[in-house]
Amino acid sequence: MIEFTARLTAALQRTAIALQPEFSGAIELSRPRSEEHGELASNLAMQLAKPLKRNPREVAQHIIDSIQSDASLAAGIARTEIAGPGFINFHLQPQVLQQVVAEIELSRATFGHSRAGGGQPMLVEFVSANPTGPLHVGHGRQGALGDAISAVLSTQGWAVQREFYYNDAGVQIQTLALSVQARARGVKPGDAGWPESAYNGDYIAEIAQDFLARKSVPDDQGREVAASGDADDLDNVRRFAVAYLRREQDLDLKTFGIRFDCYYLESSLYTEGRVDAAVQRLQ
């Protein structure tokens, strides 16, 4: 059926250009919502009617006549009908519908693949959780959705890059650092001196415990970020906490079967001077 649909699309394209040489629109064959309207439907007549200044149903009949004049195509069509303002519904012969079985058997794992994307780059950014806490169910849903979208685009000829954007700069990261610092100093949620906007989860205590134990965790480049154990060293607390949570998130995503090609850090926009450069261009 894929091969027949491609031939029918090409025939519609030729008919459109014959009627309107300047035609450059997309030929769309959709699946009708109701089975009684056939297996394929086209709105080409309505696309052509306005520039041709003709009744769309009249244009639709012209298109049908043109398709029927192609014996190989006509043999695969049980009947056609004009619906509504000018939709063309195609009812296909059983043998055409059954062709898909042979196509699946022949293509196996590549069934449904195409080169529609032409190898053009496509960036899919998903999950992109802040490194301020563990992943939750919502992140899992976005992981599954983004991974599925990436996989589908890849099968259609796009050069897909899967990106995780880390918001590792700004107020939330400072709040994370202050939360871990407070825990490292022995201050708990509810105690006097506990930061008002701090994160209260038990994971903060776990990070603080490992920080005081001077443990190390790898950063996005695989380099070890060593905890100094000095609760007054807020910069080290921040770097350790961010690396710690990023590693936890990465482990969860790998367990879930989600992979990424690129991890983009918000902080790199500042360290590489891109924010300042953008501001200067705007001034």
What pLDDT digit, counting tens, does each position of 189-236 carry? 999 999 999 999 999 999 999 999 999 999 877 889 999 999 999 999
pLDDT of residue 3: 86
Query: Are 105 and 122 members of one domain?
Result: no
Please indicate, yes or no, whether residues 89 and 51 belong to a single structural domain of this protein.
Answer: yes
255 and 132 fall within a common domain: yes
pTM of the prediction?
Answer: 0.73
Q: Are residues 57 and 188 in the same domain?
A: no
Cα–Cα distance, 54 to 89 (Å, whole number): 20
pLDDT at residue 220 in the model: 75
Q: Where does a domain end: 66, 84, 110?
A: 110
The domain spanning residue 94 has which CATH number?
3.30.1360.70
Domain boundary among 84, 110, 136: 110
Per-chain mean pLDDT for the chain: 94
Residues 106 and 122 in one domain: no
Residue 106 sits in the same domain as residue 201:
no
Give the residue numbers spanning the domain of 43: 2-110
Q: Are residues 261 and 145 in the same domain?
A: yes
Taking only the tens place, the pLDDT of each residue in 9-37 is 999 999 999 999 999 999 999 999 999 99
77-84 long-range contacts, CB within 8 A, separation 24+: 80/38, 81/37, 81/38, 82/45, 82/57, 83/37, 83/41
Please tell me the total count of domains within the chain.
Answer: 2
Residues 104 and 150 grouped into a single domain: no
Tell me, what CATH number does 278's domain have?
3.40.50.620
Q: Say what the pLDDT of residue 212 is.
A: 98
Distance, CA of 48 to CA of 36 (rounded, Å): 25
29 backbone dihedrals φ, ψ, rounded to 5°: -115, 115
Which amino acid, 18?
A
141 shares its domain with 56: no
Nearest of 132, 131, 139, 128 to residue 198 by alpha carbon: 132
Q: Are residues 71 and 121 in the same domain?
A: no
Least confident range from 41-50, 148-157, 266-275: namely 266-275
Residues 229, 165, single domain; the answer is: yes
Q: pLDDT at residue 268 above 80? A: yes
161-184 confidence digits (pLDDT tens): 999 998 888 899 999 999 999 999
Question: Tell me, what's the pLDDT at 132?
Answer: 94
Q: Which of 53, 77, 110 is the last residue of a domain?
A: 110
